[in-house]
Amino acid sequence: MATLVNWFGWLLALAMIGVTVLLALNKQSGLKLIQHRIDMLPQAMLVRYAGLTVLAVVASWFGAPRVLFGLLIAIAVISLGDTYIYRRAGHPFWLHLAIGGAAAFGAFLSLFAMN
């Protein structure tokens, strides 16, 4: 069963890479493919943050440093990516930078908890 779950994880990762590349190359086609609308993004982001929160609570509750490592790396990528986007556009970005840095530091610390 563990092998099947692992394969499912790899398939999901490949699908997400495909969507990411499509969104990077053609935002309109990517949004259409994943059935998202720009005017609905604030609500969609709310759900994404809630999902990340649930993952953080569950991983912390179970004391799963490997899961926390993955979550913190994902948050660092998201926050530092937003930092780049907002900084380039001339908008405030310091909160994103601070969260991304804190998440990266937490991920680094979680490496020591894995042993």
Quote the pLDDT of residue 114.
85
Q: Which two tokens stand for residue 61?
A: 């509750």
- Could you tell me if 53 and 87 lie in one domain? yes
Quote the pLDDT of residue 26.
94
Reported as a pLDDT band with limits 50, 70 and 90, residue 23 is very high
Residue 100 has pLDDT above 90, yes or no: yes
Q: Which class for 79: exposed (0-12), middle (13-18), buried (19 or more C-beta within 10 A)?
A: buried
Q: List the one residue out of 60, 50, 55, 97 whose CA is nearest residue 78.
A: 97
Asked if 58 and 71 touch (Cβ cutoff 8 Å), the reply is no
- Could you tell me if 42 and 76 lie in one domain? yes
What domain count does the chain have?
Answer: 2
Residue 115 has pLDDT above 80, yes or no: no
- Could you tell me if 44 and 21 lie in one domain? no
Read off the pLDDT of residues 45-64 as tens digits, 9 standing for 90 and up: 999 999 999 999 999 999 89
Domain region containing 58: 37-114
- Could you tell me if 18 and 47 lie in one domain? no
- Could you tell me if 52 and 101 lie in one domain? yes
pTM comes to: 0.83
